[in-house]
Amino acid sequence: MSHLLANASAYLKPAAFVIAPHLGGAFGAIVTRNEIPVWYRRINKPPWTPPNWVFGPMWSFLYTSIGYSSWLIYKELGLQNKPMYLFGAQLALNWAWSPLFFGAHRVGLSVIDMVGMLGLAALCANEFRPVSQTAFRLMLPYLGWLSLALSINVYVWLNNDSKTLRGD
C-alpha cells in the first residue's frame, strides 16, 4: 500500500504544478466568455489578431507548458527561491489580466499589467535557464504569445475611443 501511495505522490506533485496555472485561467475564461460576443466583437483589433477559437487551445497549451516548467524548477530548487518568486508574480499578473481587460474594460491598465507580466516572465525564463534548459525552453512559447498579446492590447488601447472601450 505504501508503494502505491509513493507512486501516486510521484504523479500528483507534477500534476499539481501543471494544473495550478489553469485555475486562474479558468476564472479568466468565465470573465471573458460573456464579453467575446458583445464588447470584444465591437472593438477595433489589429489584423494580426488570431481568430477567437485559437485562444482556448493556445492558453491550455501555454498553461500546461509553464506549469510543467515550474515543476522542473521546483524539483531542483524547491519553492522559496528567486525563479519561483518570479514565476508566481508573473502568474498573478496573468490571472489579473482578463478581469482587467474583459471584465472591467480597463484596457490601459491591462497594458501596464501585460508589460509587467511579460517582463517578469522574461526574467523568470532567464532564471530558469541555468537550472533547467527544458524549463527555459518550455517558457519560450509563452513569451512569444505574451508578446503577440501585448501588441494586440496596445493596438486596442490606441485605436478605440474611450466610449467604445467602456462598452457604451
List the CATH number of the domain containing 66: 1.20.1260.100
Angle at 86 between CA 85 and CA 92, to 5 degrees: 90
| Residue-number span of the structural domain to which 119 is assigned | 1-166
The C-alpha atoms of residue 115 and residue 153 are separated, in whole angstroms, by 10
- Give the model confidence (pLDDT) of 49-101 as tens digits: 999 999 999 999 999 999 999 999 999 999 999 999 999 999 999 999 999 99
What's the domain count of the chain? 1
Mean pLDDT of 123-139: 98
Residue 81: the pLDDT is: 96
CA distances from 61 to 45, 83, 98, 130 (A): 24, 21, 17, 24
| Residue 1 pLDDT exceeds 60 | no
| Residue 8 pLDDT exceeds 80 | no
- Please indicate whether residue 29 or residue 45 has the higher confidence score (pLDDT): 45
The C-alpha atoms of residue 151 and residue 43 are separated, in whole angstroms, by 15
Residue 2: the pLDDT is: 61
b/e map of 36-63 (b: 16 or more CB within 10 Å)? eeebbeebeeeeebeeeeebeeebeebb
b/e map of 99-118 (b: 16 or more CB within 10 Å)? bbbbbebbbeebbebbebbb
**Given pLDDT bands bounded at 50, 70 and 90, which one contains residue 28?**
confident
Residue 3: the pLDDT is: 62
Residue 94: the pLDDT is: 98
Q: What mean pLDDT value characterizes the chain?
A: 93
Grid cell listed for 108:
490601459
Grid cell listed for 45:
483589433
Determine the straight-line distance between the first and last CA of the chain, rounded to whole angstroms. Answer: 61
Mean pLDDT of 127-152: 98
